[in-house]
Amino acid sequence: MYKIAVAGTGYVGLVAGVCFAEIGHQVTCVDLDERKLELMKSGVSPIYEADLEELMQKNYSAGRIDYTTDYKSAYKNADAIFIGVGTPEQHDGSANLSYIATVARQIAETVEKDCLVVVKSTVPVGTNDKVEQFIQDFLLHDVKIEVASNPEFLAQGSAVHDTLHAERVVIGTESEWAEEQLTKIYEPFHIPIVSVNRRSAEMIKYASNDFLALKISYMNDIANLCELVGADIQDVARGMSFDQRIGSKFLNAGIGYGGSCFPKDTKALEYIAKQNHYELKTVKAAIDVNKEQKTLLYKKACRRLITFNGLKVAVLGLTFKPGTDDLREAASLENVPLLIEQGANIYAYDPVGAKNFAKIHPEGENGNGTITYVSDIEQALAGANVCFIFTEWGEVKAVTPELYKRLMRTPLVYDGRNIYGVEDMQVAGVEYHSVGRRPVVPTRSELKELNSLELQAAKF
Ligand code: UDX
């Protein structure tokens, strides 16, 4: 059993802390936010994440995890301190390391026994060398401090599962002592450990995330071509997936990747390359494709519709993916303002993300348009002229094609997640546009009728 302190209680820090407690270590999570800590002590998770609250409550009652603002007492006698604070993206794409620097300084001034400092946050290659030097420079007591890199590969929505049952743990160390400490800490997880040097570990994180981002952008690029040549991206992906060299995951075309990692880490690696006078062409391509992809359906809809002004627009899904209330880099954040600017009356549904979205776009009048948040998908669809699907929540997938036909004023659906079978939408009589597949478009006379209905609804 190790005495572990964790700096930062965001996704990375809190999930790591809870999972270390779960396997038997003694954990203290440190954060600045007193109110958040009180909430966590009462068993409430500050983030929406499957299984997290349950494990927080269980391990808090068992006395294996505690939460505090008092970093001095947490760090003083810790065997290991894990740093899981944010490294937000700066304007130039580089990572802001000020939170890491603050924690490093606090560690240097408080540790009173030999201690391994483990950086879980995603940091540019070479940062951990600097963190170690920084701590040495400010160290107050005569103790051994070493820094190890231990990047995190969890995905939001399945963070606890991903940590407890990871496919690998990557540890980057510069001494046998550090490698041994970290290996022992992870031993109870029974997960394969990849032990490399610090810089390689830092690079593995970026290379993995950027490879996945690239995979998605590649499929989106191919999807756009599929539409032009009459192929179907889902069939293409299925055909590719049987080749084990390609694999079956992350082949879903759609309206691009969002979230806290891919957009940030692709730009960060591009920046690192630039600093080293190298152009990372593949990653740049992934970024460019993703930028275009996010508003692809909006642009398609603009070509199809005369105006959005006064139209009722149903928006299904706001978060960057299902299973989270996180909106970071979500496609909805780009599309909703465009629709509002055009005077749309938006009826938005998201089972958990609506509250966060309303903080950015409050309910009611919004510039030229309006936005209303509904807790029932049928309310969003009733009398709607257009529907956009941005997130593939189970609740959205459960909507049958017939329901669009029955409830919408004009059954016109733009599906950014390829939820429906093209045939099914055709049979139901829904005009349907998705990504990388043939559109279901009405006949000329049906189109004339639909357009006149849309015009009737629009207020000029
Ligand atoms: C990702 C990585 O999966 C994780 O290993 C890393 O530590 C952090 O970044 P996360 O951002 O939580 O995790 O979500 P993920 O499930 O990877 O999805 C990211 C984005 O890619 C989402 O917007 C999702 O919709 C999109 N995506 C994913 C696709 O568009 N197509 C796919 O095939 C897969």
Q: pLDDT tens for residues 29-55?
A: 999 999 999 999 999 999 989 999 999
31 is in an annotated binding site: yes
Mean pLDDT calculated for residue range 283-301: 98
pLDDT at 322 over 70: yes
Which one, of 136, 94, 434, 454, lies nearest residue 266 by Cα? 94
The CA 152 to ligand 1 mean position distance, Å, reads: 14
Ligand 1, atom 25: closest residue by C-alpha: 321
Q: pLDDT tens for residues 69-85?
A: 999 999 999 999 999 99
The CA 197 to ligand 1 mean position distance, Å, reads: 27
Mean pLDDT calculated for residue range 239-262: 97
**Ligand 1 atom with minimal separation from the 255 CA:** 30
pLDDT at 110 over 90: yes
344 is in an annotated binding site: no
pLDDT at 155 over 60: yes
Residue ranges around ligand 1 (CB below 6 Å): 152-156, 209, 212, 216, 250-252, 254, 257-259, 261-262, 320-321
Q: Of residues 2 and 450, which shows the higher confidence score?
A: 2
The CA 260 to ligand 1 mean position distance, Å, reads: 9
Q: How far apart are CA 460 and CA 457, in angstroms?
A: 9
- Reduced 3-state DSSP string for the chain: CCEEEEECCCHHHHHHHHHHHHCCCEEEEECCCHHHHHHHHCCCCCCCCCCHHHHHHHHHHCCCEEEECCHHHHHHCCCEEEECCCCCECCCCCECCHHHHHHHHHHHHHCCCCEEEEECCCCCCCHHHHHHHHHHHHCCCCCCEEEEECCCCCCCCCHHHHHHCCCCEEEECCCHHHHHHHHHHHHHHCCCEEEECHHHHHHHHHHHHHHHHHHHHHHHHHHHHHHHHCCCHHHHHHHHHCCCCCCCCCCCCCCCCCCCCHHHHHHHHHHHHHHCCCCCHHHHHHHHHHHHHHCHHHHHHHHHCCCCCCCEEEEECCCCCCCCCCCCCCHHHHHHHHHHHCCCEEEEECCCCHHHHHHHCCCEEECCEEEEEECCHHHHHCCCCEEEECCCCHHHHCCCHHHHHHHCCCCEEEECCCCCCHHHHHHHCCEEECCCCCCECCCHHHHHHHHHHHHHHCCC
Beta pairing, strands 369-374 & 364-366: antiparallel
Phi-psi region of 410 (alpha: psi -120 to 50; beta: other; left: phi over 0): beta
Predicted confidence band of residue 359 (pLDDT cuts 50, 70, 90): very high
Ligand 1, atom 24: closest residue by C-alpha: 257
> Would residue 261 show up in a list of annotated catalytic residues for this protein?
yes
Q: How far apart are CA 29 and CA 82, in angstroms?
A: 9
* ipTM reported for the complex, 2 dp: 0.99
The CA 214 to ligand 1 mean position distance, Å, reads: 11
Among 152, 216, 327, the mutation site with the greatest number of ligand 1 atoms within 8 A of its Cβ is 216
Share of the chain above pLDDT 90, in %: 92
pLDDT at 460 over 50: no
Mean pLDDT calculated for residue range 383-395: 98
Average pLDDT value over all residues in the chain: 95
Q: Domains plus CATH for the chain?
A: 3-196 (3.40.50.720), 205-293 (1.10.1040.10), 295-457 (3.40.50.720)
Ligand 1, atom 32: closest residue by C-alpha: 250
Question: Which among 19, 226, 261, 387 is annotated as catalytic?
Answer: 261
258 is in an annotated binding site: yes
Among 261, 327, 418, the mutation site with the greatest number of ligand 1 atoms within 8 A of its Cβ is 261
Q: Write down the pLDDT at residue 450.
A: 60
**Ligand 1 atom with minimal separation from the 152 CA:** 7
pLDDT at 445 over 90: no
Ligand 1, atom 27: closest residue by C-alpha: 257
- The contacts of residue 62 (CB under 8 Å, 6+ apart) are 21
pLDDT at 92 over 80: yes
Ligand 1, atom 15: closest residue by C-alpha: 155
437 is in an annotated binding site: no
150 is in an annotated binding site: no
**Ligand 1 atom with minimal separation from the 158 CA:** 12
The CA 257 to ligand 1 mean position distance, Å, reads: 6
Q: How far apart are CA 356 and CA 371, in angstroms?
A: 14
**Ligand 1 atom with minimal separation from the 392 CA:** 25
Q: Which residues of 150-161 are buried (b: 16+ CB within 10 A; e: fewer)?
A: bbbbbebbebbe
Type of residue found at 174: E
Unique residue bearing structure tokens 């460019």: 288
Predicted confidence band of residue 89 (pLDDT cuts 50, 70, 90): confident
Q: Write down the pLDDT at residue 459.
A: 42
pLDDT at 456 over 60: no
**Ligand 1 atom with minimal separation from the 326 CA:** 12
Predicted confidence band of residue 449 (pLDDT cuts 50, 70, 90): low
Burial (CB < 10 A; 0-12, 13-18, 19+), residue 83, is buried
The CA 146 to ligand 1 mean position distance, Å, reads: 32
Among 212, 214, 267, the mutation site with the greatest number of ligand 1 atoms within 8 A of its Cβ is 212
Q: pLDDT tens for residues 214-236?
A: 999 999 999 999 999 999 999 99
Mean pLDDT calculated for residue range 154-170: 95
459 is in an annotated binding site: no
166 is in an annotated binding site: no
